[in-house]
A and B are shown apart, each in its own frame.
Chain A
Amino acid sequence: EAGVAQSPRYKIIEKRQSVAFWCNPISGHATLYWYQQILGQGPKLLIQFQNNGVVDDSQLPKDRFSAERLKGVDSTLKIQPAKLEDSAVYLCASSFGTGRDLNTEAFFGQGTRLTVV
């Protein structure tokens, strides 16, 4: 079974530029998550999709971050314009169900390391 695919693996941009990340979840997984992980901290949820609908985007800085999941499969996360504090690893994860399901297990991609200079 193929895992969660993310690209690119690394990205360096200047502040105020824009950047986009792509994620392809495990086939059949209805739930897709984007997490931000700052160095030395645990991942923080940015947005959660159930199929192509948004379940939770309460921690997404909507003035600069946007995400979409067209057709309920692939997803893109965009930052425009980027700030220095956006430097982090952006992790995509997918699961068959949600945290309310007893046996739901989340699977993560390798992440995209973003450096804003």
Chain B
Amino acid sequence: KQEVTQIPAALSVPEGENLVLNCSFTDSAIYNLQWFRQDPGKGLTSLLLIQSSQREQTSGRLNASLDKSSGRSTLYIAASQPGDSATYLCAAPGNYGQNFVFGPGTRLSVLP
């Protein structure tokens, strides 16, 4: 059974810092992994999808890496801005790859 954890649970940084969010999963037989952003009271917005054959995926100031052998993924945010404040969730395939299992999220606050 796939289990996903995220560290840290919450993070508060001053504007301009580079930061790393961590995601761990127990079943490494995955086809892909997805990172999402969730603003308060809103749904989930897809940020990045990393295929199992890829090691990294980039979108603007965001870079996600995937290491299947160690069961880990990291989301790197460069030059953080107050607008980056949100909860970041990672999701890995579960149930033999049929659907997505979510971690609890990392709540990020970027202070101006």
Contacts and interface: CB of A to CB of B under 8 A. Distances in A.
Interface of A: 4, 6, 33, 35, 40-45, 48, 55-56, 58, 91, 93, 98-111, 113
Contacts of B105: 41-42
A45 B1 CA distance: 13
Given A103-B32, A109-B43, A48 B99 contact: yes
A107 B102 CA distance: 14
Contacts of A103: 32, 49, 51
30 contacts: A33-B99, A40-B104, A41-B105, A45-B99, A45-B100, A48-B98, A55-B98, A56-B99, A58-B95, A91-B44, A98-B97, A99-B30, A99-B31, A99-B93, A99-B94, A100-B97, A100-B98, A101-B31, A102-B31, A102-B32, A102-B53, A103-B49, A103-B51, A105-B49, A106-B100, A108-B44, A108-B45, A108-B46, A110-B42, A113-B41
Interface residues of B, number: 31
Given A56-B95, A99-B100, A111-B43, 8 more contacts: A41-B104, A45-B94, A58-B95, A93-B44, A100-B97, A102-B31, A103-B51, A111-B42
Interface of B: 4, 30-32, 34, 36, 41-46, 49, 51-53, 89, 91, 93-105
Contacts of B95: 56, 58, 99
A48 B93 CA distance: 13
Nearest to B105: A42
A4 B93 CA distance: 20
A117 B91 CA distance: 31
B32 A99 contact: yes
